[in-house]
Every structure is written in C-alpha cells, then in structure tokens.
A = this chain, B = another copy of it.
C-alpha cells in the first residue's frame, strides 16, 4: 500500500514556519508498513492544489492532506477536493449545530465564514476534530482515499491517532524499531565496531549523532509485531555485547528520565552546583517525572567557567551544595576552554559526592562555545547515572 502527503499553506513556502507534520506522518506510516514515496508542499492556490491532488491520487492509494481547513478565504483544501471529485459542497446541519454550540459556549460571535467549516460534499465523511473547529474530510472512491486533516500539529496528531489510523486498512507488513542510546563514544567508533556484526538488509542498523549521545537504531520489517521483534532481538544482543558499557537507555528513555527513575527508586535527594552549564542541567532534570521529590536545590555560579576547572574545586563545590541544601548527594559541573588547540575544545569536570564517598572525572570535548552548556549537562547526568548504578 502506498500513501502520499500534501501539505497546504503559503506560510510554508514563505519560510514562516517549519513543517513538522510530514515527519510525524512519515514515521506513523512507516510503523504501519505503508510506503511513502512523495510528500509535496503547495501554497493556498486552488488550481495548483487540484493538480497535486489529481497526480497523487493517480499513483497512491491514500492521499493525506494537512492544512487549508480554516474559516478564511485563503483556506481552499475543501474546495480543491470538491473540484477533484466534481462535486459541490453544502452546509451539513449536524456539523453547523456543533459549530454554533462551540462558539456559544465560549461567548464568541460566529461569523458566516465559519460555516465553511461545516460543509461537506456528498462523497465525504466528516472526521471529528476534538482540538479545534475544523472537522477533517475522508473521501473514498474506487478503493482510493483522500483524507484531509487540519494543519496545526496538535489538532492533526490527535485526529490521526484517534480517528484515522485506527480505521486505515492495515498493510500486510509492519515496521518496528529499537533504539539503543550511548554516551561518551564517537559516531565513527560506533560505526566501526558495529560494521562486522550487523546485517545489511533486514533488520537494518543506523547510527545517529544526537545532543544526548549516539543513537543506534535497529529496524525490522515483518508480517506482524512478533515477527519484527523476533528479528530485532539477536541483533540487539550483538550490539549490547559490543557496546554495552556505553549504553545508558533505549527507545523513549532520556538521560534525565533514567537518572530521575534511579533517584526516585532509591529515595535519594540531590543538590547541584552548576558553573559551565548555567542552569541547563537543573532545567533538564526538573522536567523529568518525580523531580520535585528529589531535587533539593541548585547553586549557579556562572563566573567559575572562566579561569580554571580543577577537580579539587569541583568536589568542593559539590560538597558545598550538598551541605547548603541538606541533600544526600551533591553533583557539580565546571568547565573551561582548552588553550592552544586549533579546534575549539572544552574541558568539563564532573564531581559526584555522597556523605562518605566521592567520584570526579574530567572529559575533553570538541565543541563550539554555545554547545558546551548542553554537552556539560549531559556529561553531568551521565556521571551521576554511573555513580548511582555503581552503588
């Protein structure tokens, strides 16, 4: 089964906004085993949109559109679909009533323009939009479908997950993947270590450099979930054998969620001293579930990044934070630029202290100045996780 995406909106072609809908839909389709050969962006122009729709329907089984369902004259997706199928849209009384109630409830005046959003052609079925005023359209003709969804990602994703995906005729195969996440190892080293042990076709193994480290993604295509997971399993074991010491999580794990789960399960409280990371580490960790129960406080002294970054000072800072906030553990991250190299290098020192023990490490990273805050934050979380895991 083949699908195709058409994103509608002149704002996308003026560079006003970045399109995130294509990536979202591409990922969902690939997980369903539905092939995606093209995605097209077109402006708010009825003739050009009809042209795109017609070509798409000629080569794909499912045509998904996003955008152009608003109440203004610029919104032309409904009109273009009506043109495509040679039908006329009329106001649907059930949809119009729902729309009037929506506006009355909010005490907002409804304009006649809004009635556009209650219109349908005879072949279209309205798709409920729980997050906005524009229902989607679903038109099926001779086994092929055009499905029109709203442009705002929150509305579109909610509609896709609740109204569209559950009703799509399943493909005869599924694609599943497992992502292993690593830190403190380079992308090229991962690549070299994996090359001899990974198959080339199914499953495939891909390596990505991300802000929180290196991600290794194993992807399998099979007749069903069980088959895909069975194909992934031996490859995952091989990768874990080769790179286990660098792996800190998988799939939806983040470094902060892994550390937060460890602190929560142990009932350990934490105090932080940040120099080079200037609040970025605390900000990340505070967004993790349960952080209010273990985060005792943070002291940021931005001026410390400058001069020196020695291990002794770093341990002293961690211990000072632990005492000031009365926590079980103290974490400190300091750093400085390394002099005398051609490329920008940063030295980052991390100390983790408990009441009776301490651990301090220094890492040297190639990075531009603005990246050092992010890098330092992940390095700090990495060392904290190692300290917690080795207890």
Contact = CB atoms under 8 A, between A and B. Distances in A.
Contact of A14 (B13, B26, B281): B26
A28 interface: yes
B22 A26 contact: no
Interface size class of A (residues with CB under 8 A): 35 or more
Contacts of A27: 14-15
A103 interface: no
Q: Count this chain's copies in the assembly.
A: 2
Interface in A279-298: 279-283, 286-287, 291-292, 295-298
A20 interface: yes
A227 B261 CA distance: 59
Given A295-B302, A373-B287, A23 B19 contact: yes
Interface centre among A12, A13, A286, A298 (most CB of B within 10 A): A13
B299 A298 contact: yes
A32 to B, nearest CB: 11
A24 B15 CA distance: 6
Nearest to A206: B16
B296 A279 contact: no
Interface in A256-302: 272, 274, 277-283, 286-287, 291-292, 295-302
Contacts of A22: 12, 18-19, 41
Contacts of A25: 15
Contacts of A41: 22, 38-40
A23 B15 contact: yes
A15 B26 contact: yes
A92 to B, nearest CB: 27
A345 interface: no
A300 B297 contact: yes
A45 interface: yes
A282 B292 contact: no
Interface of A: 12-20, 22-30, 36-43, 45, 48, 52, 206, 208, 217, 272, 274, 277-283, 286-287, 291-292, 295-303, 305-306, 325, 370, 373
